[in-house]
Amino acid sequence: MKKTAFIYDEKYFWHDTGNGALFMPPGGYIETDVHSENPATKRRFKNLLEVSGLMDKLIQIKPRPATVEEIKFYHPETYINKVKELSDAGFGDAGALALVGKGSYEIALLSAGGAITAVESVVKGEVDNAYALTRPPGHHAEAELGMGFCLFNNVAIAAKYARNILGLERIMIIDWDVHHGNGTESAFYDDPNVLFISLHQERLYPPGRGNREDIGKGNGIGRNVNIPLPAGTGNAGYMHALKEIVEPIADQFKPDLILISAGQDASVFDPLARMMVNAEGYRQMTSFMLNLAEKHCNGKLVACHEGGYSAAYVPFCSLAIVEELSGNRTDVEDPFIEGFKDLPIEELFDIQKEYIAKVKEVQSAYWNLTVEA
């Protein structure tokens, strides 16, 4: 069994994104509904950890708020002040679909602090690995612009903390959220010491980002790896990408720490994407990343929660991840199997192999990858 930390705070569930329908505000012909980025998916995940008994086997750590100086590792003071002003005023948008409610500034500091707390506990050897149930999410947040429900870029700030404060040399970030991690990419686009890999549904969000040809710049060329996947990709396609691209690149990069932007919105039931990963798929991906961490950095692995918008199914995908991290299996079985048992989730299609082969062709100029003729 592993010593796995679980980091969360009740305040994460109090970040207010208001009423809406999917990601749109109500008004006109859009009837008031529940905004997609609401507390339900994450609160239900926490509840499932508790009722399954798994929470009792985890090391629960309360996060601390990130300091303004730590947020400034990535975001300029002008943007930080903007988020605070919107929060103090009661409601607003910090950019593009980055809603700020009353008190969201303080909660966003706590969310970034959760990622820092997780990294610190792992790097200092207090635990083997960690899962941070951070909210609001972070991976879309650009330095001066909130985007896609994200205010401060939790993972980018935590990675910079690991480099600047904890003295680690090489950080690997893998982002398996179904939407491209544009903000994290921007944070390290010219940084040779941070390897950023994003697996995402092609041309989904944000527009124009996540292209396989976006490989970094300056000293960071080759340290940015985008793996766009076609709609309908399931467990087999994701695992093929991990084995064919992520593993050989990680073996050459040799990270001191691995961070996962863990968005469970590539799930088969997510309303904002069209992928077909199930809970077992997330278990498989976690096992794969654990093995990479054991090989290169004594198991130092931190997962930070990002997206995932099926309140019914995200808890089971996330539970599978934490079960795998900790080595503890509960008696929870996926209750939604009947809903996808006839879907080709475990089938690898030629089009998926073609997409992955194209990424290998681009990246082979910078990494030793076997490219089929």
Per-residue pLDDT reduced to its tens digit, 75-93: 999 999 999 999 999 999 9
Backbone angles phi, psi at 93, to 5 degrees: -125, 125
Mean pLDDT of 191-218: 98
Indicate the pTM of the whole model.
0.97
Tell me if 229 is assigned to some domain.
yes
* Full residue range of the structural domain in which residue 76 is found: 4-363
- Determine the average pLDDT of the residues in 257-271: 98
Rg over CA atoms, the chain:
19
Q: Is residue 369 part of a domain?
A: no
Q: Are 202 and 229 in contact (CB under 8 A)?
A: yes
pLDDT in tens, 356-372: 999 999 999 999 998 77
CATH of the domain at 134: 3.40.800.20
Is 373 a domain residue?
Answer: no
Beta strands in 216-340, from DSSP E residues, in sequence order:
224-229, 257-262, 301-305
In whole angstroms, give the CA distance from residue 122 to residue 5. 8
Write down how long the chain is.
Answer: 373
Cα distances (angstroms) measured from residue 84 to each of 112, 115, 144, 183: 15, 20, 13, 20
Q: Which of these, 275, 303, 284, 274, lies nearest to 243 by C-alpha position?
A: 284
**Strand, helix or coil for residue 1:** coil
Average confidence score pLDDT of the chain:
97
Cβ distance 135 to 149 under 8 Å?
Answer: no
Domain contains 278:
yes
Evaluate whether residue 371 is within a structural domain: no
Select from 31, 23, 50 the least CA-distant residue to 315: 50
Strands (E), the chain: 4-7, 59-61, 91-93, 95-96, 99-101, 129-132, 146-147, 171-175, 194-201, 224-229, 257-262, 301-305
How many separate domains does the chain show?
1
Nearest to 75 by CA among 103, 121, 119, 108: 108
Among the listed residues 59, 111, 63, the one whose alpha carbon sits nearest the alpha carbon of residue 305: 111
Name the E strands within 94-213. 95-96, 99-101, 129-132, 146-147, 171-175, 194-201
| pLDDT per position as a tens digit, 294-306 | 999 999 999 999 9
At 237 the pLDDT is: 98
Residue 139 annotated in active site: no
Residue 373 pLDDT exceeds 90:
no
Residue 368 covered by a domain: no
Is 372 within a domain?
no
* Active-site residue, from 35, 140, 200, 296: 140
- Asked, for residue 175, whether it belongs to a domain, the answer is yes
Q: Tens digits of per-residue pLDDT, 213-244? A: 999 999 999 999 999 999 999 999 999 999 99
Average confidence (pLDDT) over 238-266: 98
Asked whether the beta carbons of 224 and 214 are under 8 A apart, the reply is: yes
Identify the CA nearest to 155 among candidates 224, 66, 217, 94: 66
What angle do helix axes 279-297 and 314-326 make, rounded to 10 degrees? 30
